[in-house]
Amino acid sequence: MRKVKVYDTTLRDGSQGEGISYSVMDKIRIAEELDKTGIEFIEGGWPGSNPKDREFFLKISRRKLKNAKICAFSMTRRPNIKAEDDANLRALLKSNAQVITIVGKTWDFHVKEVLKTTLDENLSMISDTVAFLVKKGFTVFYDAEHFFDAYKANKDYSLKTLLSAQGAGAEALCLCDTNGGTLTSEITRVTGEIKDRVKVNLGIHCHNDAGVAVANTIAAVEAGAGIVQGTINGYGERCGNADLIPVIANLKIKLNIDCIPPDKLKQLMHLSHFVSEISNMRTKSEQPFVGDSAFAHKGGMHINAIMKNPLSYEHIDPSLVGNHRRILVSELGGKTGILLRAKDLSYDLSKEDPQTKKILELVQSLEHKGFQFEAAEASFQILMQKALKKYKKFFELEGFKVVIEKRSDKKITSEAVIKLKVKGVREHTAAEGDGPINALDNALRKALKDFYPTLAKMHLSDFKVRVLDEKAGTAAKVRVLIQSQDEEDTWNTIGVSGNIIEASWQALVDSVEYKLLKDKQE
């Protein structure tokens, strides 16, 4: 079986994505999770650029990783100085990294316009830097920045940059589509041509500006690349990097290429959710292989076919990557959707069962009022338990009050006061928040935290409001969808009302109760 090495750069390239900022501990936790999944190379950052990355390399060197080698990133020496005098390169010597990845200019345009140096000096910068680090005992990978643009502009010179790195001792050459604009056919052609001209392992590093980073990465592997670079969930600057989740799944399942250990493939969904949680980013329901919608079926015809043979509408068994099939309950799905969802929840129903008809009629009635359970499976699970009289109350609401106050300093504050009965104990709490819903969420958690400690591990990751009848103006009903997540899972809940606070409360309560249900809280 052919082997391809996986090189993760979430902690560097991924951290450059808009809205992402990792602490040192965040980076350590992600690195440890990547190691558990069998990723071979983890790029930790640029130790010469900031104190945070220097601290990360120091602390990660004290951790015992089972599978991964930690890589440090830097650039070639600056023009017209010796490698040993370059501050960035000296910082690498103290990084404790096992692999050093050096990025260099391969595009003559960049050499002249950005570095403001000569083409020959750039070749010396590459070879001097690689040779210096190899002499110090490091394994060195060379990232050929803007390679595909460079090759298009000046084949001979771009090839010389690769050969300079190879000649100085680089163990791998990574072809980078830095601007993300190269199409797949060109990736295939160029990678194949370069494969025939170099002696060391080739890597591929694609950005997603043209929306083809994953396809380009796989095409490069088929053309001979032996290392794939990318980030978990495709995080990265601008439109992001190649998403390693579908890259790994496609290599392993579709092409039968060994890239992570066989027993680690099922961890992909967990890894994706874990990284999105630490990154404080909303999970992508439509993400291939591991998204909540990746194996979701709504139409009655599709559901009927899936029941007969899953291959009819699924390209793989979802359990291979740690995912699962979802039958979306809606007025379009009929009784079949109800039955399959009930089966998932270990409830024994049949089409002839009066309870099945009762649940379907309830769903259709609620959807007519504006509910939409295909987007809120957690709320549907609670609805089904109530209909089957298997619902357990975790708390009873006695009342709540939300106050919004605009003060003289022009700041608007929101405060929620809530009264609950929890396990026979009356709780009366208050909390402020960034808006009325956040205040209500904070007050509810405050009242429940001592009774249900696992609630501290969940948070609301998305909040959507839709006006259902715009012609009714401010009297219109609204639908509130809340997405919540913890380190293991993501779930969606719904509320509908003519009052946005009430609709939000419905979705909020379902979200909390679903968390407690799945944690099997008493």
> Is 377 in the same domain as 414?
no
Q: How far is CA 416 from the centre of its chain?
A: 33
Contact 494, 376 (CB under 8 A): yes
Strands 425-433 and 99-105, bridge-based pairing: unpaired
Nearest one of 298, 286, 367 to 328, comparing CA atoms: 298
**pLDDT value at residue 335:** 61
DSSP 470: G
**H/E stretch holding 213:** helix 213-222
> Is 252 in the same domain as 122?
yes
> Is 240 in the same domain as 339?
no
> Is 365 in the same domain as 457?
no
Question: Rounded distance, CA 341 to CA 82, Å?
Answer: 67
Nearest one of 363, 397, 368 to 381, comparing CA atoms: 363
Token digits of residue 15: 């951290």
> Is 167 in the same domain as 227?
yes
On whether residue 369 sits in a domain, the answer given is: yes
| pLDDT band at residue 174 using 50, 70 and 90 as cut-offs | very high
> Is 229 in the same domain as 332?
no
Domain end marker among 233, 260, 287: 260
Question: Rounded distance, CA 354 to CA 388, Å?
Answer: 11
| pLDDT band at residue 344 using 50, 70 and 90 as cut-offs | low
> Is 400 in the same domain as 371?
no
> Is 154 in the same domain as 225?
yes
> Is 341 in the same domain as 414?
no
pLDDT at 331 over 60: no
pLDDT digits (tens, 9 = 90+) for 381-396: 888 888 888 788 899 9
Q: What is the CATH number of the domain that holds 170?
A: 3.20.20.70
Structural domain tally of the chain?
A: 3
pTM exceeds 0.85, yes or no: no
Token digits of residue 25: 């501990």
pLDDT at 471 over 60: no
Average per-residue pLDDT for the chain: 89
> Is 165 in the same domain as 302?
no
Question: Rounded distance, CA 462 to CA 264, Å?
Answer: 29
Question: Rounded distance, CA 301 to CA 313, Å?
Answer: 10
pLDDT digits (tens, 9 = 90+) for 113-131: 999 999 999 999 999 999 9
Nearest one of 212, 203, 211, 205 to 231, comparing CA atoms: 205
Its domain, for residue 371, covers 296-387
DSSP 440: H
pLDDT digits (tens, 9 = 90+) for 179-235: 999 999 999 999 999 999 999 999 999 999 999 999 999 999 999 999 999 999 999
pLDDT at 508 over 60: yes
Which residue has 């595909």 as its token pair?
148
Question: Rounded distance, CA 128 to CA 292, Å?
Answer: 49
On whether residue 266 sits in a domain, the answer given is: no
